[in-house]
Amino acid sequence: MADGVWNEQVARGYDEASADMYAPEVLDPAVDFLERRTAPGTDRAAALEFAVGTGRVALALSARGVRTAGIESSEPMARELGGKPGGGDVPVTVGDMTTARAPGTYGLVYLVYNAITCLLSQDDQVACFRNAARHLAPGGRFVIEVFVPELRRLPPGETARPFHIGTGHLGFDTYDVANQRVVSHHYTIADGQCTTFLSPHRYVWPAELDLMARLAGLELAERWADWHEAPFTSSSRSHVSVWRKPPR
């Protein structure tokens, strides 16, 4: 895990920096997708979000009547969630999503917005799958939303690619291809000052995630290009994948 990244300062400004992710056209399809996979009307109608953060998705899912909980390694992020309207309805276990245990079992465990890549080793990513499987009831589902590595856009010899250039923000990624690492650099200019935020990630391929799922006793059930369930193709820039824990 990228320890020290999600500190008090980042937590306070996280929602403002991610305001576009709260737009209904972005958030609602994700919540719709997840709600349909919580097995409503059964004893598996509960959801657990790994890396729940400030609760963007969990609070929206809880507001629809889905019993929702979270695991979060950053205490400042968890506090931000708890202070929001409805935050008391989403219990959060503070701990690493590779090992922390939330009370109970769930029909759905999910991990969104590229959060699997915040685990910086293959071993930790495998452990995350195993922890998800431990929390799932038989027949339950594990959902991940994550980008597809765009190495085809990285010319030979280059290690940096911009992903956003605006009047108040510059963002670029630097790649360490040999170790499947990428660091996202954010430079924000406001009130005559520039603030920086660096976020390290381990990118991971869909096929590698499928093998991690098999090691955890899960099987691939669905793969889409986005929350709208567009077909996943060789040109898709992200994917939403669903693995299923076999029934007893």
Domain limits, the chain:
8-149+204-244, 151-199
Mean pLDDT, residues 217-231 taken together: 98
Distances (CA, A) of 224 to 113, 144, 146, 176: 15, 11, 11, 27
Per the CATH hierarchy, to which homologous superfamily does domain 8-149+204-244 belong? Vaccinia Virus protein VP39 (3.40.50.150)
What is the percentage of the chain residues whose pLDDT exceeds 70?
96
Which three-class secondary structure state does DSSP give residue 194? strand
Taking alpha carbons only, the member of 131, 125, 162 closest to residue 146 is 125
Cβ proximity of 243 and 213 under 8 Å: yes
What does pLDDT average to over the chain? 92
Q: What is the pLDDT of residues 130-157, one digit of tens each?
A: 999 999 999 999 999 999 998 988 888 8
pTM for this predicted structure:
0.93
Q: What CA–CA distance (Å, rounded) separates 74 from 216?
A: 25
Using 50, 70 and 90 to split pLDDT, how confident is the model at 243?
very high
Per-residue confidence at 14, pLDDT binned at 50, 70, 90? confident
Residue for token pair 């980008």: 147
Q: What angle do CA 178, 171, 238 make, to 5 degrees?
A: 60
Give residue 216's Cα distance to chain centre.
Answer: 18
Residue pair 87/54 in contact (Cβ under 8 Å)? The answer is no
Residue 125 φ then ψ, to 5°? -70, -40
The percent of residues in the chain predicted with pLDDT above 90, rounded, is 76
pLDDT at 248: 78
- pLDDT tens, position by position, 52-64: 999 999 999 999 9
Q: How far is residue 179's CA from residue 164's CA, in Å, rounded to a whole number?
A: 24
Q: What is d(CA 132, CA 142) in angstroms, rounded to the nearest whole number?
A: 7
Checking if the pLDDT of 106 tops 70, the result is yes
> Tokens 């980042």 map to which residue?
10
Residue at 31: amino acid letter: V
Pairwise pLDDT comparison (7 vs 199), residue with the higher score? 199
φ, ψ for residue 65 (rounded to 5)? 95, 5
